[in-house]
Amino acid sequence: MARVTVLDDAAGAAAYVAQKLAGTIAAGQRAGRTVHIALAGGSTPRAAYERLAELIEDWSGVELWFSDERAVGPDDPDSNERMVRESLFQRVGTAQPRINRVPTPGTAEELAAAYARELRERVPAGPDGMPVLDVALLGLGEDGHTASLFPHAPTLDVRGELVLPVHDAPKPPPDRVTLTLDVLRAARSLMILATGAGKAEPAAKLLAGPDRATPASLLADLPALELVLDEAGAARIPPEQRA
């Protein structure tokens, strides 16, 4: 079952996530292996990336991925890559991590196929053949979506694939690509960062049990999942469910 961690405010939640990511990176470097981390888009994790840039001096052996991306160019205001580049990549100096960007622009099908090939080539697979990310950091929409897995979407039913095209995202732009539930469930660690009063209801629904109306809840049975909230986002979480 998912663990719930509640911090005082959004800044505290962002700092906590940054510390956790930094710890994963340091552990992988000590072990002499490559660390693979999938990053969330949207506005919520920006502060976490800014803090992470301050914590990590040595990015050797780190590969960064995107949990989803919009089918737009890398400099488009809607691009997740642009947000991460501004908040993280441009702040880490010359010792950059390897950035495995979605090769936009292109059709959603083209982008999904290309990104799936790259994942298979670069990320070690587990016993079931799924690439095993060290951490997948995700967001939580007010409608309960995570990555670009939206309520009742056919992407929720796909098994065995790594990356899927999306054409009907309820928020623009409609065309996107997303990591699948199978890839997310295979990760060693999952974190969902959700802050603000607008996330209180979806956070409670996430913990209520699997429901295709709340796609993030389809990950809630995983012990590897940690839901990181501020007090506003945790308003509907009972004390006994908090860490």
What CATH architecture applies to the domain 3-123+142-222?
Answer: 3-Layer(aba) Sandwich (3.40)
pLDDT, one tens digit per residue, over 180-218 is: 999 999 999 999 999 999 999 999 999 998 999 999 999
Give the lowest-confidence range in 28-42, 84-98, 121-135.
Answer: 84-98
> What confidence tier does 239 reach under pLDDT thresholds 50, 70, 90?
confident
Indicate the pTM of the whole model. Answer: 0.95
pLDDT attached to residue 31: 97
- Rounded CA gap, 84 and 49, in Å? 7
Average pLDDT (67-87) is 93
Residue 136 has pLDDT above 90, yes or no: yes
> 231 burial class (0-12, 13-18, 19+ CB within 10 angstroms)?
middle
Average pLDDT (214-233) is 97
Residue 94 has pLDDT above 80, yes or no: no
Average pLDDT along the chain? 95
> What confidence tier does 96 reach under pLDDT thresholds 50, 70, 90?
confident
CA atoms within 13 A on the CB side of 20: 22
- Record the tokens describing residue 126, joined without a space: 């587990």
**Which residues lie across from 39 on neighbouring strands?**
66
